[in-house]
Amino acid sequence: MANEQESFKKVISHAKEYGYIFPSSEIYDGLSAVYDYGQNGAELKKNIKEYWWKAMVQMHENIVGVDSAIFMHPTTWKASGHVDAFNDPLIDNKDSKKRYRADVLVEDHAAKIEAKIEKEVKKAEKRFGADFDKEQFLSTNPRVLRYQEEIDTILKRLGRSLEKEDLADVKALIEELGIADPDTGSKNWTDVKQFNLMFGTKLGATAESAMDLYLRPETAQGIFVNYLNVQKTGRMKIPFGIAQIGKAFRNEIVARQFIFRMREFEQMEMQFFIKPGTQQEWYEYWKEHRMKWHLSLGIDKENYRYHDHEKLAHYADAASDIEFRFPFGFKELEGIHSRTDFDLASHERFSGKKLQYFDPEENKSYIPYVLETSIGLDRMFLAVFSSALQEEELENGTSRTVLRLPAVLAPYKAAILPLVKKDGLPEIARKIFDELKWDFNVDYDEKDAVGRRYRRQDAAGTPFCITVDHETLDNETVTIRHRDSMEQKRVPISDLKGIIDEETAMSSWLKRIQ
Ligand code: ATP
C-alpha cells in the first residue's frame, strides 16, 4: 500500500514536472477534482483520441462519428433515466465529516481480500518455482477459495441491495464488515442516501424564460437522439455504429484519485445498433475487439482484466468492464454494455417520434438493440502514462527515469539535438527539424550537455533523439538514439523520416488490432 501511494505520487508529480497535467486554476490554489492538460498532455490526449477514432470509425466501414452539443433538451435526461436514477449511494462519517460512496467502501473492502489472494499466489509461486500452475492453484487452494467465496458473497449482496434500492442493507453490510473511515478509522456512519450526479445550469437571459438544463453526464445520449438523422442521411444498414468523443460532467461525491475520477472529463463512446436477438454475439465481439485495441498498444497484458457485472444498470442486460491496474489497484477503464432497446424506446415514448428501423431483409420495422463501448479518455491517459513511467537501474550503477509511452502516442516523436552550439551544427539541426516537422511533431533542444538532454527526452517520453555532431559536417549522417534501448546508430539524414515513420505510424500500430 505504501509503495502504491509512493508510485502514485510519483506519477502525479512527474505529470506536472513534464508539462502533462496541472491542477486547474493553480494560481488560485486549484479546483477540487478538476485538472488541465499541459503542452505534452494535450498532445498525448490528442493522440489517444486519434488512435481510438481511427480504430473505431476509419477501420469500420459501418461506423461513423458525430459531435453533438453538451447542452441537450432537458427531456433527454428524463427519457434516459438520469433524472430518476443517476445516483450514487453516499454515506458520511459522523466523526470525520468525510463523505464516501457507500458502494466504493464495500468494493475497496473486497479488493483488500483480493490482495490477500494475490499474496498467497506470490508465496506459492516462490515455493513451487517453475512448476507453479496459477489456474490450478486458484481453483483448488482452500484458503484462496475461502477468500474468493467471501468476496463473491459481499459483492452479490451489494449488487442485490443496490438493485432493490435497499440502502438500509448497504449500511448494514458496511457495519457487518466492520468497514471504517479509511482516513480516521471511525465506524460512526450516517444512513446511506442517494445523490444525483448531474450538474444543473440555466439557459436564457431572463429569470422567467430561463430553462433548467443539465450538463451532459455522458456523451451517449447525443448519439441516441441523432440515431435517425445519421441512419437516414448516411443510409446506414443495421448493424452499424455511431461514435463520439466529448466532454461529460458528473458531480462526483468523492473525487480524490487525480484524473481517474474528475468532475469534468472526456468520454469516447460508440453505440452499435443491431437486430434484437443478436446482442449476445455482439457483446462478445466488442468485449474481445476492445481488448485487442488496448493490447495493440503493447502495454503488458497482465495490467488488464475483465470484470463482468453482478449489478446491472437500469438500461443493461449484460455488462462488463475492462479493468486496468492503476497505481492504486485494478479499476474500471472501459465499459461494454448491452443496452437492449432501452434508450431508443424511451426516447420514442418521451418525444412521440418513431425511432425505428425498417429491415429490408426481414421486411419489418423494429427498434434496434444497442451495444455500447464507453471509455474514459482521461482514464486511458492515466493508464498509459502511469504504466509507462519507470525508474531504471543502468549498468554503470546510475539510474534514469524513462517514460516508455507507446511511440504512436508520444507527444514528440523525435528531438533534434546539435551536439554543441557552434561550428554550424545548430544550423544543420534546424534544417533537419524543418524537414521532419511536415510529418512529425518534433522538438529542438540545444541547451545543456547532450547527456542531460537525452535524460530529459527519456523522461518526457520522446522515442528518438537525433544528434548532429562534427561527423555530420563530413558525410551528412547523424546518430539516432532509441529511448527504450538507449542504443545509438549512425544513419544518413535522408533515412530519418523512414526510420521514425516505421516505429510511430498509426497505421502499423492499428494493424495489430486485426
Ligand atoms: P465508475 O463506476 O468508476 O464511477 P461508471 O461505471 O459510472 O464509472 P460509466 O458511466 O460506465 O462509468 O462511464 C464510462 C466510462 O467513463 C468509464 O469506464 C470511465 O472510464 C469514464 N468515467 C466515468 N466517470 C468518470 C469520471 N468521473 N472521471 C473520469 N472518467 C470517468
pLDDT on residue 428: 97
Q: Please report the atom of ligand 1 found closest to the CA of residue 337.
A: 11
pLDDT on residue 303: 97
Q: Please report the atom of ligand 1 found closest to the CA of residue 217.
A: 10
Q: How far is the CA of 376 from the centre of ligand 1 (A)?
A: 6
Q: Give tens-digit pLDDT for 324-338.
A: 999 999 999 999 999
Q: Please report the atom of ligand 1 found closest to the CA of residue 331.
A: 3
Burial label for 265, CB within 10 Å (0-12, 13-18, 19+), is: buried
Given a cut of 90, whether residue 144 has pLDDT beyond it is yes
DSSP 78-138: HHTTHHHH-EEEEEEBTTT--EEEHHHHHHHHHHHHHHHHHHHHHHHHHHHGGG--HHHHH
Q: What is the mean pLDDT of residues 270-281?
A: 96
Q: How far is the CA of 220 from the centre of ligand 1 (A)?
A: 12
With the most atoms of ligand 1 within 8 angstroms of its CB, the residue from 307, 374, 375, 377 to mutate is 374
Q: Give tens-digit pLDDT for 17-52.
A: 999 999 999 999 988 889 999 999 999 999 999 999
Closest CA to 154 of 189, 190, 105, 115: 105
Residue 481 pLDDT level (bands cut at 50, 70, 90) = very high
Residue closest by Cα to atom 20 of ligand 1: 376
Q: Please report the atom of ligand 1 found closest to the CA of residue 263.
A: 27
pTM summary value: 0.89
Q: How far is the CA of 312 from the centre of ligand 1 (A)?
A: 15
Instruction: Pick 83 or 3 by higher pLDDT.
Output: 83
Q: Which amino acid is at 231?
A: Q
Given a cut of 80, whether residue 85 has pLDDT beyond it is yes
pLDDT on residue 445: 96
In what helix (H) or strand (E) does residue 64 lie, and over which residues does it extend? strand 63-66
Ligand 1 pocket, residues with Cβ under 6 angstroms: 218, 250, 252, 261-262, 265, 267, 332-335, 374-376, 378-379
Residue closest by Cα to atom 13 of ligand 1: 374
Choice among 162-176, 312-326, 363-377 with the minimum mean pLDDT: 312-326
Q: How far is the CA of 379 from the centre of ligand 1 (A)?
A: 8
Q: How far is the CA of 320 from the centre of ligand 1 (A)?
A: 13
Q: What is the mean pLDDT of residues 153-181?
A: 94
Residue 2 pLDDT level (bands cut at 50, 70, 90) = low
Given a cut of 90, whether residue 460 has pLDDT beyond it is yes
Closest CA to 178 of 99, 88, 112: 112
Rounded distance, CA 464 to CA 488, Å? 10
> Domains in the chain, start-ordered, CATH in brackets?
46-76+197-386 (3.30.930.10), 87-195 (3.30.40.230), 400-513 (3.40.50.800)
Q: Angle CA(326)–CA(332)–CA(336) in degrees, nearest 5?
A: 145
pLDDT on residue 32: 86
Residue closest by Cα to atom 24 of ligand 1: 261
Choice among 68-82, 310-324, 454-468 with the minimum mean pLDDT: 310-324
Residue closest by Cα to atom 1 of ligand 1: 332
Given a cut of 80, whether residue 315 has pLDDT beyond it is no
Q: How far is the CA of 309 from the centre of ligand 1 (A)?
A: 14
Residue closest by Cα to atom 11 of ligand 1: 335
Given a cut of 80, whether residue 311 has pLDDT beyond it is no
Q: What is the mean pLDDT of residues 404-419?
A: 98
Q: Give tens-digit pLDDT for 244-268.
A: 999 999 999 877 799 999 999 999 9
Residue closest by Cα to atom 8 of ligand 1: 332
pLDDT on residue 51: 98
Given a cut of 80, whether residue 403 has pLDDT beyond it is yes
Provide the mean pLDDT of the chain.
94
Given a cut of 70, whether residue 1 has pLDDT beyond it is no
Task: Count CB neighbours of 126 within 10 A.
Answer: 9
pLDDT on residue 396: 87
Q: How far is the CA of 484 from the centre of ligand 1 (A)?
A: 32
Q: What is the mean pLDDT of residues 311-335?
A: 89
Residue closest by Cα to atom 2 of ligand 1: 332
Choice among 203-207, 275-279, 471-475, 502-506 with the minimum mean pLDDT: 203-207
